[in-house]
Structure 1
């Protein structure tokens, strides 16, 4: 049973925001500059989840033109970040129940943080542009520390900033990186069944719970508090 929770750490892409449409536009612009054909949104959805560099590498590898050199990767990454930064939220949307759930969780006094593999500056901008910035006083991005999820350091960093403990924290996400980061840090783990899991069923990742929305997460915690009398 999940109980005694004081802090909630949320992944961003694929958990709070469906951001793949805008990332796909940037990826295809990057590929065009590299002289390659477009990937399309459906393929990009399968590549998101481990940071911008890994997304770019997957896009370059997915074109079947041989293994890209380090120089090609760096050039493509810079182009992708430039293009993505220009159009960060034109087509991105909140998943159903996100705002209602965050409203209720914030009102109930939970400490909230965003822990993402997206570069911190882009993560903060996307949160603001999607109207979520006020929920998250703590944002840990993929470049905030020398390591990123699934390493536990970003999770521990957010927990410390919120004044919580691993035992009183839930990592909420949509992918293996989120599950492993939470497990490695000693937190509870809750997954959503939508998002970007590279085709892996989140049930097979054995989280402590699966919720259909952030509103459902609030209901899960409310039931847990009632059952424990807290």
Structure 2
């Protein structure tokens, strides 16, 4: 079985550090901070989308501001970020069961790998894809097609797990099953996941029974 996992809001609770980095970038432009509740709604579709949507009140050079954000995030990405409960246990259990595991995230690959190393879970993944790893990131189905090709798994035995409708749309467009997790920061919108769970423990226990 192949289990493809989103990162932010699925494996790690990183919203505070992402929002803080956005507000540090805003401060560097001389504009006031946005509340957490506003910023968190815009996480999940990549860094350019995040900065574009959170600087609508300021005329900025998008590429330059993205670089400011990257600098601040690199300095603070593990200040408050933690693994969600049971993630480590679940990854270990699925690997021991012989499952192939992959990360498909709209975060860029360098911070993904830094976070996985920090939490000592990089070794569990056969494939790691970020927004800049391939030409067409989520919600395009190419990341899933790429993982399936690299792992040699069959689409009918593949699952995409995420907390955002973008994850579900990606799975739907690729023709694979999906799991929506409600403990993250995303919303389901008009997507219809195969399964929905409120904890990672429920996710991995279900998947282990699917073998």
Long gaps (5+) in structure 2: none
From 3, 9, 16, the equivalent of 1:8 is: 3
2:153 is the counterpart of 1:164: yes
- Correspondence for 2:15: 20
Cα offset for 1:204?
A: 4.9
- Correspondence for 2:164: 175
- Correspondence for 1:84: 73
2:112 is the counterpart of 1:123: yes
User: Matches of 1:141 and 1:221 in 2, distance apart?
Assistant: 24
User: Matches of 1:34 and 1:79 in 2, distance apart?
Assistant: 10
Runs of 4+ in 1 over 4 A off after TM superposition: none
Long gaps (5+) in structure 1: 1-5, 226-230
User: Matches of 2:6 and 2:21 in 1, distance apart?
Assistant: 21
2:47 is the counterpart of 1:47: no
RMSD of the TM alignment (CA)?
Answer: 1.5
Contact 1:102-1:215 within 8 A present in 2 as well: no
User: Matches of 1:162 and 1:91 in 2, distance apart?
Assistant: 33
Question: Greater Rg, structure 1 or structure 2?
Answer: 1
From 167, 170, 192, the equivalent of 1:206 is: 192
2:91 is the counterpart of 1:96: no
**Paired residue secondary structure (1:205):** coil
Describe the superposition over 1:45-66 as per-residue Cα deviations: whole angstroms up to 9, x where unpaired. 11100001111111101xx34x
2:209 is the counterpart of 1:223: yes
Query: CA, structure 1 residues 77+203, in 2 after alignment: closer, same or farther (shift >3 Å)?
Result: closer
Please show how residues 128-167 of structure 1 align to structure 2 within 5 Å: 128-167=117-156
TM-score, with length taken from structure 1: 0.87
**Paired residue secondary structure (2:210):** helix
User: Matches of 1:151 and 1:94 in 2, distance apart?
Assistant: 27
Contact 2:165-2:189 within 8 A present in 1 as well: no
Cα offset for 1:168?
A: 1.3
State the aligned residue count: 211
User: Matches of 2:125 and 2:106 in 1, distance apart?
Assistant: 16
TM-score, with length taken from structure 2: 0.94
Contact 1:100-1:214 within 8 A present in 2 as well: no
From 52, 55, 68, the equivalent of 1:57 is: 52
